[in-house]
Amino acid sequence: MSIWSDKGHFINGIWTGANGATPVENPTDHSIIAHISAGSTRDVDSAVAAAKTAWPAWMATPVAERAALLARVAELIEARQDDLARAITFEVGMPLKLAKMIQVGLPLQSFQNTSRIASAFPFERKVGNSMVLQEAVGVVAAITPWNYPLHQIAAKVAPALAAGCTVVLKPADLAPLNALLLADIFEAAGAPAGIFNVVTGSGAKIGLHLATHPDVDMISFTGSTRTGATLAREASAQIKRVSLELGGKSAALVLEDADIVKAVKATVNACFLNSGQTCSALTRLIVPASRKDEAVEIAREATRAFVLGDPMDPATRLGPVISEKQREGIRRLIRTAADEGGTLVTGGAEAPDGLDQGYFVKPTIFADVIPDSTLAQEEVFGPVLAILTASDDDDAVAIANNSRYGLSGSVWAGSSERATAAARLIRTGQIEINGGRFNALAPFGGFKQSGYGRELGVYGIEEFVEPKALQF
């Protein structure tokens, strides 16, 4: 069943260059759900030229009009949310209900919020005898991954356009359909030609060509730390602005007076969301040594709710992971965790019963994980939770900070004062206190090797402007 007929790339408001060369696979049953076009460096050059040509007029467009376009896009996302969610379930494998709520809900908020915030953003501000303009950076290369395909696109495209930048997007080859559906939406919304362009194809070939293109002023990237490092290196050679949202190994700290049932259940849910393929997933659960057995039992029990199966089936809580390569990498890490002394609580590396088709991995938990072991240090990007123990609050913080990553975290304690005191010492970009909800207006981004730059809310727009002072 094909859910998209190839129209090629969306360049300068026109669909072009269709070659249907790349199949898109459904990770649930290996069926081919679409063919998309393999872009060439020439396609990238055309898209960058279109974005460059469109930029001056878009930057000069009153902010109210730019905001109005984002609002129209939001309305169309809302109107088409079922199609978008279905495409995500087919290409990523996330259960449909969750895909609609999170994978479409968040980008909808990004476009709505950014539209609203843009109207009040200080694009011009008087400072003493200066007028400080916050001018659009220029042409932005947006390179995005497959795990939350529409969310990660929206978190870049909405603020970049609000700021007056124009965009060339290179979505992930494993899950490109949402980028193309979004191009359809921009077309329907009557977006000026060239402000938003999409070229599909290989990362190493056209992604790199796009990022290093001399007419691209900024790279906004979400993906692996390895590719992020390559792009940071390339950007430095050209003194090009770069914003990187990379990997994570986030910790949930359960302090000794916390509501342990609530804390452990919430952590298991956060770890297994989207089959563990979430950069901010809480993948290390740090509990007081005295409460380890209790925590292990709660975690084992909570895992029972994660019924594996077809993500189109409403009973399913856990779909497959994205690809064979991903599944094999996860299995390898599960075997390593056992070899390095972790105690398997539930799950394991072997294929789940009755699910031989599809890239399924059992939700897996290890206890007695040593802070320096592979499982405690490496990002798994699969449904695998590591339980570690700490002797007191300071020890828990030290274990949490014993990571080259610094994306997210959570702290649970009897009082928010105690939780906040620990949170202040944790080196990550965001931390939930006693189950605090995700806030789409708060800055999202990482410390350390989780990257630099922030997305969402007003912080997202700030990434895409250059302050310029006019002295009077």
Residue 196 neighbours by CB distance under 10 Å: 31
CB of 202 to ligand ADP, least distance (A): 6
Q: Which is nearer to ligand ADP, 69 or 231 (CB)?
A: 231
| Strands 451-452 and 241-245, sheet pairing | antiparallel
Q: Which is nearer to ligand ADP, 212 or 420 (CB)?
A: 212
For residue 356 the two structure tokens come to 């031989």
Q: Which is nearer to ligand ADP, 188 or 204 (CB)?
A: 204
CB of 142 to ligand ADP, least distance (A): 9
CA-nearest of 460, 444, 469 to 118 is 460
φ and ψ at residue 364, rounded to 5 degrees: -125, 140
Q: Which is nearer to ligand ADP, 31 or 212 (CB)?
A: 212
DSSP label at residue 173: S
Whether 245 is catalytic? yes
Residue 347 zone, left/alpha/beta (φ > 0; ψ -120 to 50; rest) = left
Q: Which is nearer to ligand ADP, 145 or 453 (CB)?
A: 145
* Secondary structure element (H or E) that encloses residue 283, with its range: strand 282-288
For residue 57 the two structure tokens come to 């007029």
Region of 56-64, 101-109, 224-232, 452-460 interacting with ligand ADP (CB under 6 A): 224-232
Q: Which is nearer to ligand ADP, 176 or 457 (CB)?
A: 176
Q: Which is nearer to ligand ADP, 384 or 387 (CB)?
A: 384
Q: Alpha-carbon distance 181 to 160, whole Å?
A: 19
CB of 153 to ligand ADP, least distance (A): 10
Region of 38-46, 49-57, 59-67, 138-146 interacting with ligand ADP (CB under 6 A): 138-146
What is the C-alpha radius of gyration for the chain, rounded to an integer number of angstroms? 22
Q: Which residues pair with 34 in a beta bridge?
A: 4, 24
For residue 314 the two structure tokens come to 């409403």
Contacts to ligand ADP from residues 96-135, by CB under 6 A: none
Contacts to ligand ADP from residues 184-223, by CB under 6 A: 203-204, 207-208, 211, 223
Region of 111-119, 165-173, 310-318, 456-464 interacting with ligand ADP (CB under 6 A): 165-173
Count of residues that interact with ligand ADP, criterion CB under 6 A: 17
Given a contact cutoff of 8 angstroms between Cβ atoms, the answer to whether 40 and 202 are in contact is no
CB of 222 to ligand ADP, least distance (A): 7
CA dihedral 53, 56, 57, 60 (to 10 degrees): 170
Q: Alpha-carbon distance 463 to 59, whole Å?
A: 15
Candidate residues 145, 342, 363, 371; the one interacting with ligand ADP per rule CB under 6 A: 145
Q: Which residues pair with 384 in a beta bridge?
A: 364
| Strands 22-25 and 32-36, sheet pairing | antiparallel
Q: Which is nearer to ligand ADP, 140 or 172 (CB)?
A: 172
Region of 16-24, 79-87, 140-148, 158-166 interacting with ligand ADP (CB under 6 A): 140-148
> What 3-state class would DSSP assign to 355?
coil
Candidate residues 72, 170, 249, 317; the one interacting with ligand ADP per rule CB under 6 A: 170
- The sign of the CA dihedral 307, 314, 4, 148 is negative
CB of 288 to ligand ADP, least distance (A): 34
Candidate residues 16, 19, 41, 224; the one interacting with ligand ADP per rule CB under 6 A: 224
CB of 196 to ligand ADP, least distance (A): 16
315 class by beta-carbon count within 10 Å (0-12 exposed, 13-18 middle, 19+ buried): exposed
Q: Alpha-carbon distance 280 to 303, whole Å?
A: 19
22 touches ligand ADP by CB under 6 A: no
Contacts to ligand ADP from residues 44-83, by CB under 6 A: none
**Active-site hit among 245, 256, 378, 463:** 245
Candidate residues 77, 143, 242, 388; the one interacting with ligand ADP per rule CB under 6 A: 143
The pattern of x and - marking residues 225 through 244 that bind ligand ADP according to CB under 6 A reads: --x--x--------------
- Residue 237 CA: distances (Å) to CA of 108, 137, 220: 36, 18, 16
274 touches ligand ADP by CB under 6 A: no
For residue 240 the two structure tokens come to 């090009």
Q: Alpha-carbon distance 43 to 180, whole Å?
A: 15
334 touches ligand ADP by CB under 6 A: no
Which residue number places its CB atom closest to ligand ADP? 203
CA-nearest of 296, 299, 284, 288 to 408 is 284
144 touches ligand ADP by CB under 6 A: yes
Given a contact cutoff of 8 angstroms between Cβ atoms, the answer to whether 328 and 313 are in contact is no
CB of 60 to ligand ADP, least distance (A): 31
Q: Which is nearer to ligand ADP, 146 or 405 (CB)?
A: 146
173 touches ligand ADP by CB under 6 A: yes
What amino acid positions are annotated as catalytic residues? 245
Contacts with ligand ADP, residue ranges (CB under 6 A): 143-146, 170-173, 203-204, 207-208, 211, 223-224, 227, 230
